[in-house]
Amino acid sequence: MPKPSPTFLSRRGLLAAGGALGLVAALTACGGGDKAKDGAGDQGSSAASGAWSFKDDLGKTASAKSTPKNVVAYTGTAAALYDYGVQVKGVFGPTKLADGKPDPMAGTMDISKVEILGNVYDEFNVEKYAALRPDLLATNTWDGSYWYVPEASKDKILKLAPAAAIGVGDKVSMDKALERTADLAKSLGADLNTRKSADAKARFEAASAKVREAVKANPGVKVLVGSGSDQMFYVSTPKTSADLKYFESLGVEFVTPEQDKLDPQGFYESLSWENAGKYKADVILLDNRTQALQPEALKAKPTWNELPAVKAGQVAPRVTEPIYSYEKCAQLLEDLAKTIQNAKKLG
């Protein structure tokens, strides 16, 4: 999953965050600004004294004097924590659609109960963030950076509270991302021993088995993972995203773009619409994010309409940024199993 491209997402001017700087000292003095620090640490703990720590997937240990209560998180991370019963105070990332409804990235989270600090890439209101007196910033990481934390204001943001990032790209698979998200939720007070948690994990395991069975019952189905913008059609590699790596481990056969044609981060190959048919596929999993063109809009692209999978009606949505709770990922696998099972090989 690449960093959002400027062609995908509208960018606003850099946030005026000078007012937030004056709050840094006050937050630090009251304990809300303990910095994350490198070093060894367990996956998440609260000692008898009440101290809290969590070693994240960047190898950094976030720590605080007590279990964080004022948590601010990337929308997808917040949605996963919500599924475990952890409510955050603020979010950043795609949260609310233009019509006021929740963005799919928000999952089942009640967005009326969170402060939205930014709704698009590179938008993060540092002043509002500081006013929340954050104890922890939680997000994902694809490439070693804090996902959706703007580079221009990153240093100011990270001074205000410890940060923890969960790996969802590169060498990480979906099952590991799920495990680590659950670790974070547990460290923040979630009870993972409930019947709900057990049922969600069992459903995920059963859904994984359904995908394996579908692949065995309908072998040889070639799946292309794509995303459309006005100017380009992006074909993703399954090697650098946690969801696709896991699907591949279950037997799903993906179209893999040429290695030397990938973007600098190694996530996708960019094709002009004239060359959108470069790779043959039986099924297309299409980026479902709000910044990507959806099937109705893509009808205006003649070469899209000529793709065999499009002609055959074998286009299914791809949840490009899964919400890493067992409940949400189980649904993705169940949908994938049906897509593979019902697909016709197009030759």
Helix (H, G, I), strand (E, B) or coil at 240: coil
Q: In 3D, which of 157, 198, 164 has the Cα closest to residue 181?
A: 164
Residue type, 256: T
Instruction: List 140's β-bridge partners, or say none.
Output: 166
Contact status, residue 235 vs residue 255, Cβ threshold 8 Å: yes
Mean pLDDT of the residues in the chain: 88
Residue 328 in contact with residue 322, Cβ under 8 Å? yes
How confident is residue 44, by pLDDT bands cut at 50, 70 and 90?
low
pLDDT of 31 above 90 = no
Supply the Cα-derived Rg of the chain in whole angstroms: 21
**What is the per-residue pLDDT across 276-333, written as a single tens digit (0 to 9) for each?**
999 999 999 999 998 899 999 999 999 999 999 999 999 999 999 999 999 999 999 9
What's the pLDDT score for residue 306?
A: 97
d(CA 226, CA 292): 10
| Pairing mode of beta strands 283-287, 37-38 | unpaired
Please state which of the ranges 13-27, 97-111, 186-200, 302-316 shows the lowest mean pLDDT. 13-27
Q: How far apart are CA 191 and CA 334, in angstroms?
A: 26
* Helix or strand holding residue 285 (H, E): strand 283-287
CA distance linking residue 138 with residue 120, whole number of Å: 17
Q: Are strands 315-318 and 283-287 parallel, antiparallel or unpaired?
A: parallel
Residue 170 near residue 57 (C-beta atoms within 8 A): no
Q: Give me 250's structure tokens.
A: 């279950």
